[in-house]
Amino acid sequence: MAASTLTEVARLAGVSPATASRVLNGSARKPGKDIAERVRQAADSLGYIPNAQAQGLAKSSSGLIGLIVHDIADPYFAAIARGVQEAAREQRKMVLLATTGGGPAEEKEAVAAFAARRADSIVIAGSRSCRDEDRDGNTELAAELDRYCRNGGQVAVVGHPVVGATATEGYHVVKVPNQELARQLASGLAEGWDGDFVVVGGPEGLLTSDDRVRGFQEGLERAGRRPAEVLRTGFNRSGGYDAGLQLAARIKAARSGEAPAPRLCIFAVNDVMAIGAAAALRSEGLRIPRDAAIAGFDDIETLRDFRPALSTVRLPLEDIGRIATRSTGPGNHTEEAQGAAADGITGEVTLRRSTEAAA
């Protein structure tokens, strides 16, 4: 059965289609109360469903917020998405979700799709990349965001600004002190660990990973310790698992010789990588922290069930999503809203069982 049309509603109510549209699509121009009631009764009797795009044009607002993440299955992004959803409800808006796998070219396509649907704002969460292979994608993403902002859109980016973006109006960056927090983590670990350190980082050029690697090395230096070896791998659980297998082989090979096995403390630059590395160590018969200590970053919800309890840096991930969304919503020009976005996020080093010194 075909859907009822606005013209049919108008005919049944005895009004013009323009009048019916003003009633049903939320225009600022309001017909008389009796006319409006007649139109609504006609729409109900016909089972008419208002056109969301027409409502958006009438109200100058689509009621939509676009959210772009790398991988919604990653608990880090899932927690941010919960914060975005909560803030969207406060604004009486709906969230459209796009997952991209982390490339700026895919993010550009998502921005274009949200812009075409007249999304009121867009939140982008995920590490920025300055790798050579992402140069063209960054250029296209920056151009798409600039175009969107020039047309009245609001954008919030978590962490670093989009590489090459020039928009000033409607463009917000929610800063995360990754480098400082990684520095604090290294200092805390160095106090209780007398062995060597290894950093499991993402590909060079991923800015979030690079910040955390850099900060950790700075913390070791301040503690009077030698720099950690850095293993570059995928910025996900699989990458952590691969690195864990390499380190397990190294520990087991050393044990087979005359020299004592290295006492390693592994810092994985996010929790899912730490979980992958720990799983690889266990698969090779090694135990944490007896055979190797390990720490992560983010304090994702999944860690509640991880044993031994993982040392990490706690980030308020849901708050990040809320702050990003509120910075683009009504009232985003208030001092409170601007201050929350500009000042960024605070975190906390949390040392747990996984990095206790071996007996």
Beta strands of the chain (E only): which ranges? 64-69, 94-99, 121-124, 154-158, 171-174, 196-201, 229-232, 264-268, 292-295, 312-314, 348-350
Residue 131 CA neighbour count, 13 Å, CB half: 18
Confidence of residue 52 (pLDDT cuts 50, 70, 90): low
Specify the CATH number of the domain 178-314+347-355.
Answer: 3.40.50.2300
Separation between Cα atoms, residue 351 and residue 353, nearest integer Å? 7
Confidence of residue 2 (pLDDT cuts 50, 70, 90): low
Token readout for 30 is 């309001």
What amino acid occupies position 5? T
Specify the CATH number of the domain 6-59.
Answer: 1.10.260.40
pLDDT tens per residue, range 157-203: 999 999 988 877 888 999 999 999 999 999 999 998 888 999 999 99
Give ∠ CA 90-93-99 in degrees, rounded to 5: 110
Separation between Cα atoms, residue 125 and residue 82, nearest integer Å? 13
The mean of the pLDDT values for the chain is: 87
Question: Which regions of the chain carry the CATH code 3.40.50.2300?
Answer: 64-176+319-328, 178-314+347-355
Cβ atoms of residues 63 and 94 within 8 Å: yes
Cβ atoms of residues 260 and 298 within 8 Å: no
In this structure, the strands spanning 229-232 and 196-201 are: parallel
Q: Quickly count helices (H) and strands (E) in the chain.
A: 13, 11
What is the b/e burial string over 270-288, where b = at least 16 CB atoms within 10 angstroms of the residue's CB? bbbbbbbbbebbeeeebeb
pLDDT tens per residue, range 24-50: 776 666 777 788 888 788 777 777 666
- pTM (predicted TM-score): 0.81
Cβ atoms of residues 136 and 105 within 8 Å: yes
Residue 29: the pLDDT is 66
Token readout for 322 is 């809320």
Confidence of residue 358 (pLDDT cuts 50, 70, 90): very low
End-to-end CA distance of the chain, in Å?
74
Q: Which residue has the higher pLDDT, 87 or 337?
A: 87
pLDDT tens per residue, range 265-307: 999 999 999 999 999 999 999 999 999 999 999 999 999 889 9
The answer for residues whose C-beta is within 8 angstroms of residue 142's C-beta and 6 or more apart is 162, 163, 164, 165, 166
Quickly count: other Cβ atoms within 10 Å of residue 70's Cβ.
21
Q: Is 348 helix (H, G, I), strand (E, B) or coil?
A: strand
CATH 3.40.120.10 fits 64-176+319-328, yes or no: no
Token readout for 33 is 């109360």
Question: Which regions of the chain carry the CATH code 1.10.260.40?
Answer: 6-59
Residue 116: the pLDDT is 87
Confidence of residue 60 (pLDDT cuts 50, 70, 90): low
pLDDT tens per residue, range 64-77: 999 999 999 999 99
pLDDT tens per residue, range 213-251: 999 999 999 999 999 999 999 999 999 999 999 999 988
Helix axes 17-24, 33-46, angle to 10 degrees: 90
Of how many residues is the chain composed?
A: 359
Which 8-state DSSP code applies to residue 298? B
pLDDT tens per residue, range 104-149: 999 999 999 999 888 999 999 989 999 999 999 999 999 999 989 8
Residue 58: the pLDDT is 45
